[in-house]
Each structure stands twice: as structure tokens, then as C-alpha cells.
Amino acid sequence: MTERPILEVSGLCVSYGRIEAVRGVDIHVGAGEFVGVIGSNGAGKTSTLRAISGVVKPAAGAVNFDSSDVTGQPSHRMVARGLAMVPEGRMVFSDQSVRDNLVLGAYTRIKTDPRGVDEDIEKTIAMFPRLGERIDQSAGTLSGGEQQMLAIARGLLSRPRLLVIDELSLGLAPKILDMLFPVLIDLNRKGLSILLVEQMASYALSVTHRTYVMENGRVLLEGKSSDLAHDERVLDAYLGRRSHARG
């Protein structure tokens, strides 16, 4: 990769009160790369993402996105710059229709490009036909899996260059995940950079190019996902001694 990475995080620290959730994390995502961050829930993955996407302000360190320093920028500015986040727990606007959720996903460009937004809504419906069937239903009536689709679609409508996903698998049955991951892989193939935080390490390692393993607020390991999947240290700490069989 000779290009400058689209996202560069260096020395990132995040604190809540006196508790340091993230202590000096370096992460980068190259243009067009699909990067995973795995580790248990207390490891600081979500805090790292929240600092990158501007939901919380980092205590120290720098975030560089698309060749400019964006450290401490609030999330709504990050969206305008081309970084969209699919948050943990989906957070769809449950009292509004699926279509209105999608329109709000395009909030930053709806005034300047209404026609483009309409086209993009059609595209995301083609990607997730289930959303098309429920386009006028209120988002709160969707199932967990459908809400996750909506959250991804909503994120895509801002036309991001980097999509950041937090805990895709949370509360979702494996069969839904088997449907969602191929979509992400496809999006990535079409050029979208993706940073995926995922607790279910086996999934993340099987779909991403490169993976960071976090523990205790730090990056423990980093490497090609295919290598890490066979790394004893990862297996010990995260997948357990037994093979993590699914099904």
C-alpha cells in the first residue's frame, strides 16, 4: 500500500472519569481495506470507535482521516467528512419510517443532492430487499436483523469513504450474520473501506483482510486475518482452547 491510509489513529487514549478505557492505540485503515478489531467487550474497542467517529473526545492521541487532522471533531462533522458509523445496538430511529430513516442517513447532502439521495435509496433497497418490503413501516417494528440492515443502509446513505461498524453480531442469530457479512464483503470489493469491531472473533477473522486484537485498552496483536486465525495467542485468549465451532 503506497497510498496514505484513509484513517490513521496514533496514541489514542480515551478516559471515562478516572478509568482509562483506551491507552495508546495505533490503528490504520488503508484505502479500500477491510480491517477488523477484535477483543472482549471491556477491551476498549467500542471506546476506540467512539473516539474515531467523534462520539467521545479522546483524552490524548491523534485521529487523522483522509489526510486531515480530525481529532476531537464531533460526530456530525465526521459524517460530513465521509466517515459513517453503524453504532452498537443499531440505534435506528424507531418512531420513524424506514424511508425517513434512510433520508436522515443522507442528512448531510439531502439539500444539495436530493436526486442522488433518491437513487441511493433505491440502491440500498436493491441491496437489502427486506427493507424495500417495509419501506413505510416504522423502524421500531423491524426485527433485530432488519434493523441492522437499516443501520448499515442508513450509514451508506451519507456516501462514506470509510464505514465503521460496531458489534455487527450483537444479539443477532448466526443465520442473519451469514446474510450480512457477504454484503459487507461486496461493499468492500466495490471500494468502500471498512473498519469492523466485532466480539465474535471467528467471524471478523474470516471476512477481514487485517485484524487488530485489543485487550485492556491496548492493541495486543496486529496482522493478516488469515495468519491471526491460526495464531495460538489469539486462540488462547479469545477463541478458547476448543475450536470455536459454529453449527
Applying CB under 8 A, the residues found at the interface with other proteins are: 16-21, 39-43, 53-55, 74-76, 79-80, 84-85, 87, 91-96, 100, 103-105, 107-108, 110-111, 143-144, 154-155, 158, 171-175, 178, 181-182, 185, 203, 206-207, 215, 236-240, 242, 244, 246-247
**Closest approach of other proteins to the CB of residue 79, in Å:** 4
**Closest approach of other proteins to the CB of residue 9, in Å:** 18
Give yes or no for a contact between 184 and 196, defined as CB atoms under 8 angstroms apart: yes
**Closest approach of other proteins to the CB of residue 80, in Å:** 6
**Closest approach of other proteins to the CB of residue 130, in Å:** 16
How far is Cα 68 from Cα 54, in angstroms, rounded to an integer? Answer: 14
Alpha helix stretches (DSSP H) within the chain: 45-52, 75-81, 98-105, 114-127, 129-133, 144-156, 174-189, 201-207, 225-228, 232-234
Q: Give 5 or 87: the residue with its C-beta nearer to other proteins.
A: 87
CA distances from 204 to 197, 199, 225, 228 (A): 8, 8, 8, 11
Helices (H) and strands (E) in the chain, counts: 10, 10
Q: Give 4 or 114: the residue with its C-beta nearer to other proteins.
A: 114
Q: Give 4 or 226: the residue with its C-beta nearer to other proteins.
A: 226
How far is Cα 29 from Cα 52, in angstroms, rounded to an integer? Answer: 12
Q: Give 10 or 94: the residue with its C-beta nearer to other proteins.
A: 94
